[in-house]
Amino acid sequence: GAVVSQHPSRVICKSGTSVKIECRSLDFQATTMFWYRQFPKQSLMLMATSNEGSKATYEQGVEKDKFLINHASLTLSTLTVTSAHPEDSSFYICSARTGGHVGPLHFGNGTRLTVT
Amino acid sequence: DQQVKQNSPSLSVQEGRISILNCDYTNSMFDYFLWYKKYPAEGPTFLISISSIKDKNEDGRFTVFLNKSAKHLSLHIVPSQPGDSAVYFCAASRETSGSRLTFGEGTQLTVNP
């Protein structure tokens, strides 16, 4: 069964509005969660690493003020896309490891964001 | 700089035959490799992994081969089933960097009945 739950699975919003995406680890604690983005027919690109109790670490080229990450508890990380624009339309996926620092990442089912 | 490359965007095989998906990498610091399967509108699902200390890892119908000198890995699926039709991503990481995975572009596998 799924070990990482992501919500919502699909969202449509208007330009200029903000959208919050939730990522929850099920039955395990995740001090670190990872947010990826996938554009059509492209690879998954790591956006940021979400750290419980501290600031997220953003990859080069990712605007931290646009993609706000909050890791408020050991089982929940949120990604807020602020002042969304059509170019932010993408598939956003979170992930976490169940086995601490080793082992494979487990991914949520992703959120399809469409900005009109 | 694409450090992990899957040069075949698509592959089509007949049910029951072997599917071979290939992946090349350029960063010699990578020491942990994974294959994920992804259906449309879903997140990737972990399939199989291999550490650089091995050259082969097998799990049921799935076998991953690693050739470090060639910086190449492959995923073999045998026998292939129609339900295997999906996009397959290879990914690589440095164990010491924790969970930073670098993904390839993916290969769409279609298994025909």
For A95-112, what is each residue's pLDDT tens digit? 987 665 566 788 999 999
Which residue type is seen at B94?
Answer: R
Nearest to A108 among B9, B43, B49 (CB): B43
Concatenate the DSSP letters of all residues of A2-69 into one string. -SEEEE-SEEEE-TT--EEEEEEESSS--SEEEEEEE-TTS-EEEEEEEETTS--EEPTT--TTTEEE
Q: Which of A54-63, B59-68, B98-107 has the highest mean pLDDT?
A: B59-68
| Contact check, Cβ <8 Å, B89/A93 | no
pLDDT at residue A101, as a whole number: 59
Alpha carbons A21 and B41: distance in angstroms, whole number: 15
Nearest to A44 among B46, B89, B99 (CB): B89
- Give the distance from residue A2's alpha carbon to the nearest chain B alpha carbon, in angstroms: 10
Sort out which chain A residues have CB atoms less than 8 A from B45's CB and list them. Answer: 107
Q: Is the pLDDT of residue A1 over 80?
A: no
Backbone torsions φ then ψ of B82, nearest 5 degrees: -55, -35
Say if CB A115 and CB A89 are below 8 A apart: yes
Answer yes or no: do B46 and A106 touch at CB < 8 A. yes
User: If you average pLDDT over every residue of chain B, what do you get?
Assistant: 93
Tens of pLDDT, residue by residue over A5-48, are 999 999 999 999 999 999 999 888 888 899 999 988 788 999 99
What whole-number distance in Å separates Cα of residue A105 and Cα of residue B99? 7
Q: Do A93 and B103 touch (CB under 8 A)?
A: no
**One-letter amino acid of A45:** M
Q: How confident is the model at residue B96 (pLDDT cuts 50, 70, 90)?
A: low
The stretch B83-104 carries a mean pLDDT of 85
The radius of gyration of chain B's CA atoms, rounded to the nearest angstrom, is: 13
Cα–Cα distance list, A44 to A3, A40, A68, B76, B90 (Å): 19, 10, 19, 22, 11
Residue B50 has pLDDT above 80, yes or no: yes
Instruction: Give contacts of A112 with chain B, Cβ < 8 Å.
Output: 41
The more confidently predicted of residues A97 and A82 is A82
Query: What is the spatial distance between Cα B21 and Cα B65, in angstroms, rounded to a whole number?
Result: 10
Q: What is the pLDDT of residue A104?
A: 75
pLDDT surpasses 60 at B98: no
User: Which residues, including other chains, have CB under 8 Å from residue B100's CB and lie 6 or more apart?
Assistant: A46, A49, B93, B94
Measured in whole angstroms, the distance separating CA A38 from the mean position of its chain's CA atoms is 11
| Residue A85 reports pLDDT greater than 60 | yes
Question: Of A32, A41, A109, which has the smallest distance from its Cβ to B99's Cβ?
Answer: A32
- B36 phi-psi bin (left φ>0, alpha ψ -120 to 50, beta other): beta
Query: Per residue in B10-29, pLDDT tens?
Result: 999 999 999 999 999 999 99
Spell out which chain B residues touch chain A, with contact meaning CB-CB distance below 8 angstroms: 4, 9, 34, 36, 41-46, 49, 89, 95, 98-106
| Nearest-angstrom CA–CA distance, A62 and A1 | 32
For residues A24 and A75, is the Cβ–Cβ distance under 8 A? yes
Task: Give the per-residue pLDDT at B94.
Answer: 85
Q: Which residues of A touch B99 (CB under 8 A)?
A: 32, 34, 49, 95, 97, 101, 105
Is a pLDDT exceeding 70 seen at residue B7? yes
- The whole-number pLDDT of residue A72 equals 83
- Report CA dihedral (B9, B14, B20, B23) to the nearest 10 degrees: 10
Specify the pLDDT at position A78. Answer: 96
